[in-house]
Structure 1
Amino acid sequence: MSGTGGPATLVLFNGSGVTLEGWARLYPHIERFGRVLAFNRFGLGGSSPPRGPQTGTTVLRAVRELLAALELAPPYVLVGHSLGGLYANLFARRHSEEVAGVVLAEATHPRDRETLHGHEGQLAKVLGRLLSAPQSAFRANLHAELDGLDAVAREVEQAGPFPSVPLAVVSGGNAPPHWLVPPPALRLRRVHQKDLARLSPLGTHAVARRSGHFPQLTQPRLVLDAIRTVVEHARLPADGTANGAAPA
């Protein structure tokens, strides 16, 4: 946890297989917007190994236990990348009274799951090259979370409505290799990105023209601008105090 400015707590949800270092290029500027919580989910960094598929309920329980242990009370601005965006989506629906805004960077849509199954090995190779890390550092997390992908998508679809809060969706404009995401799947994914922006009547959509799946690394200023705009328009306490106690 870092940062002290502002009444909101920014909660960063990494993509699957990506450690909290995946947000490195947003620092230290992101700390100007409030307290920032970045963390490694099960199977990453120094976190415990995952025990079975990581459903949304399992991941959110761990996140909320961490927020409570650190005494980080709402309101929260959720920032989710890739599969982390699916968890942020679920958090916003299940705990809408605690959420002041959401930023989704190349976030997974519930209907993207058809294009991800069967690509675990290829995704591991791509992450290994991108992060300059051995696959052993993230393979357990990647497999456990992708094994739970169908369950998470169903949980999102069955949860309550997405709250009417400021929402910014940032999508990468560069196409991934055809062997990883075939053109028809890519076209569908881009439709889904626009759908995500329509989850809230306060939603906006920006395309990071020089970025692929990691706009926070290749165009950090654009992602920071999206976070700043959401924080500025979020419904935060005027006196700088949080709404309610820390989550149970």
Structure 2
Amino acid sequence: MARVIRKTALAALCITAACAGLVACDDDDEGFLEGLDDSPSLSKPALGGLSGTKKIRVEGRSVNVSCSGSPVDGKPVVVVLAGLDDGLKKTAAFRKTLSEKDRVCSYDRLGEGASEAPAGPQTVAASGKILTGVLDQVAGDTPVVLAGHSLGGLLAARYAPDHQDRVKGLVLMDATSPTSNGDIKKVIPESATGDSADLRAQTAAAGEGLNREKLVFPDAEVRSAGDIPVEVIQHGTKYLGQFPVYGDGLEKVWSEGQRKWTALSGRSKLSTAADSGHYIYVDRTELAVKAVRSVAAQAAE
């Protein structure tokens, strides 16, 4: 029994850390590759966009981007932002489903997938400049809806307030809490030992830039992104509760973090994805697709 509990604790640590957008965990991308276009070239742009997968230059760095689906006049481009240590491969199946009715683009952030590593530590604002450069090339003047998961959700939510002329909707799928660093310290005391101490330390280190993207993401208040449609979806399977001693507390602060994101807009909606863990767009693809299309439709009105 002790071995089982130990194994569960370690698994919870891995999932929790990834959930907070912190550290890499072993993950099998098999099954996400279907529909991924690894073509080295892009077809002729349509409505200012690109089709296929290719590396482009943004802010002097090589960025791997992919777009699919036909542009529709009057509809926003959906841009998917993956979580930490995820990228085009991980979101391929989700994007393929979305592209059946929408134009969808995504990219590997600097330090992720096939994109170039950042030259040094990145701020959230610096990461946003890369996103702006990508949007310039894949969407042009077309409005966008950002669909972000985990750390990608946090970045989407931080980006939108400063780009209200371009971002017309948000879908945040189990997005990293705007106060993730403080959340962990609130639940796990400095006196904690073992896996709990490791999680606390890894959270602090990752928030200070010890991650693949060299991204520093300090806690910050949620700012208004205007009167745009926002759907915040949190996990329904309480797997964080499996973490020894502090599991219930981790679930509580995670849920509180999701509620904080609703301050982005007076048109925010918070829902729970039943039977879903952290990867909502995998566990409940149909629900995630429905949310994106709902926000996109409202943004087009």
- The match for 2:105 is 37
- The match for 2:224 is 161
Q: Aligned AA for 1:3?
A: G
Residues 181 and 76 of structure 1: CA distance in aligned 2, closer, same or farther (over 3 Å): farther
How far, CA to CA, are the matches of 1:20 and 1:179 in structure 2?
33
How far, CA to CA, are the matches of 1:179 and 1:48 in structure 2?
38
Q: What is the number of residues matched between the two proteins? A: 212
Following superposition, the deviation at residue 98 of structure 1 comes to 1.1
| DSSP 3-state at the match of 1:42 | coil
Residues 63 and 26 of structure 1: CA distance in aligned 2, closer, same or farther (over 3 Å): same
Q: Aligned AA for 1:225?
A: K
Residues 189 and 100 of structure 1: CA distance in aligned 2, closer, same or farther (over 3 Å): same
- The match for 1:220 is 285
- The match for 2:69 is 3
Larger radius of gyration: 2
Q: Aligned AA for 1:212?
A: G
RMSD of the alignment, in Å?
Answer: 2.5
Percent same amino acid among aligned pairs? 26
Which structure 2 segments of 5+ residues have no match?
Answer: 1-66, 185-198
- The match for 1:118 is 201
Does residue 172 (structure 1) correspond to residue 235 (structure 2)? The answer is yes
Q: 2:123 aligns with which of 47, 55, 58?
A: 55
Determine if contact 1:5/1:33 at 8 Å carries over to the other structure: no
Q: 2:170 aligns with which of 63, 79, 102?
A: 102
How far, CA to CA, are the matches of 2:158 and 2:272 in structure 1?
23
Following superposition, the deviation at residue 182 of structure 1 comes to 3.2
Determine if contact 2:170/2:295 at 8 Å carries over to the other structure: yes
Following superposition, the deviation at residue 168 of structure 1 comes to 0.7
How far, CA to CA, are the matches of 1:163 and 1:180 in structure 2?
40
Comparing both structures, which one devotes a greater share of its residues to helix?
1
Q: Aligned AA for 2:224?
A: P
Residues 60 and 179 of structure 1: CA distance in aligned 2, closer, same or farther (over 3 Å): farther
Q: 2:296 aligns with which of 217, 231, 238?
A: 231
- The match for 2:212 is 141
For residues 117-149 of structure 1, the C-alpha deviation after alignment (integer angstroms, 9 at most, x for no partner) is 52369x9xxxxxxxxxxxxxxx9526x23xx02
Determine if contact 1:22/1:217 at 8 Å carries over to the other structure: no
Following superposition, the deviation at residue 194 of structure 1 comes to 2.1
| DSSP 3-state at the match of 2:146 | strand
Following superposition, the deviation at residue 34 of structure 1 comes to 2.8
| DSSP 3-state at the match of 2:233 | strand
Q: Aligned AA for 2:113?
A: G
Following superposition, the deviation at residue 71 of structure 1 comes to 5.2
How far, CA to CA, are the matches of 1:33 and 1:101 in structure 2?
17
Following superposition, the deviation at residue 179 of structure 1 comes to 5.5
- The match for 1:91 is 159
- The match for 2:276 is 211
For residues 146-197 of structure 1, the C-alpha deviation after alignment (integer angstroms, 9 at most, x for no partner) is xx021xx44xx38x52211111111111123415973213201102212323
Does residue 190 (structure 1) correspond to residue 255 (structure 2)? The answer is yes
Determine if contact 1:4/1:35 at 8 Å carries over to the other structure: yes
Q: Aligned AA for 2:283?
A: T
Residues 170 and 50 of structure 1: CA distance in aligned 2, closer, same or farther (over 3 Å): same
Determine if contact 1:5/1:31 at 8 Å carries over to the other structure: no
Which structure 1 segments of 5+ residues have no match?
Answer: 124-138, 237-248
| DSSP 3-state at the match of 1:232 | helix
TM-score, normalisation: structure 1? 0.76
Determine if contact 2:224/2:263 at 8 Å carries over to the other structure: no
Following superposition, the deviation at residue 48 of structure 1 comes to 0.8
How far, CA to CA, are the matches of 1:204 and 1:120 in structure 2?
28
How far, CA to CA, are the matches of 2:138 and 2:159 in structure 1?
18
